[in-house]
Amino acid sequence: MIEYAGRSDHQVKIRGFRIELGEIEAWLMRQAGVQSAVVVAREAGVSRQLVGYVAGTGPFDEATMRAALSDELPDYMVPARIVRLERLPLTAHGKIDRDALPAPETPIATAAHVAPRSTAETALAAIWAELLVSPSSVSRTISSSSAAIPSSRCNWSAAPPGRPADRAA
């Protein structure tokens, strides 16, 4: 029996893009005060997101570092989080131990709520809020909207276009 253990070259697929983690690590190493860096893909719900780990001296500001990376890299290559560590964990052979890296303290990709900025956004937010309140509100919306359509126009048993009605089933 053959068991596939995955890729060993640190290439990952995020949002449909193949990403070589070493490229992002090289850009992190170019940042001021960074002496060593590693990037890993972490599971975040149903998707995977990039998390960068850096070790070095001097001041550290995650937002500034992410902004500097976004100036040079496409958005899908910018880590969702960048975590500063005293030093990166090493294996017995002196390589970075990616499995020993701690999970970020705060949840990955926590986005702040942005209020609607225009009347169109306000209207769309109200529609989505009404639809997403509960499953019963969705069924009320569907039943009330179908009641507004005259029954002569609701031909639910009609065949698809181009297909005779007797062969619809």
Contact, 80 vs 44, CB < 8 A? Answer: yes
* Residue 71 vs residues 7, 38, 64, 68, 139: alpha-carbon distances, Å: 29, 19, 11, 5, 46
Mean pLDDT of the chain: 78
Which one, of 80, 79, 98, 76, lies nearest residue 89 by Cα? 98
Contact, 34 vs 61, CB < 8 A? Answer: no
From CA 29, how far away is CA 51, in angstroms rounded? Answer: 15
Q: Classify 12 as helix, strand or coil.
A: strand
Total residues found in the chain within this entry: 169
pTM over 0.75: no
Measured from the Cβ of residue 64, the count of other Cβ atoms closer than 10 Å reads 13
The DSSP output letter for 94 is S
Helix-helix angle 119-132:135-147, to 10 degrees: 110
Measured from the Cβ of residue 69, the count of other Cβ atoms closer than 10 Å reads 20
Which one, of 83, 103, 74, lies nearest residue 16 by Cα? 74
Digit-coded pLDDT (tens) for 114-142: 788 999 999 998 998 888 875 554 454 45
Average pLDDT (151-165) is 52
Q: Helices (H), strands (E): how many in the chain?
A: 4, 5
Where residue 38 falls among pLDDT bands split at 50, 70, 90? very high
Digit-coded pLDDT (tens) for 58-115: 888 889 999 999 999 999 999 999 999 999 999 999 999 988 999 887 654 455 677 8
Residue 131 corresponds to which amino acid?
A: L
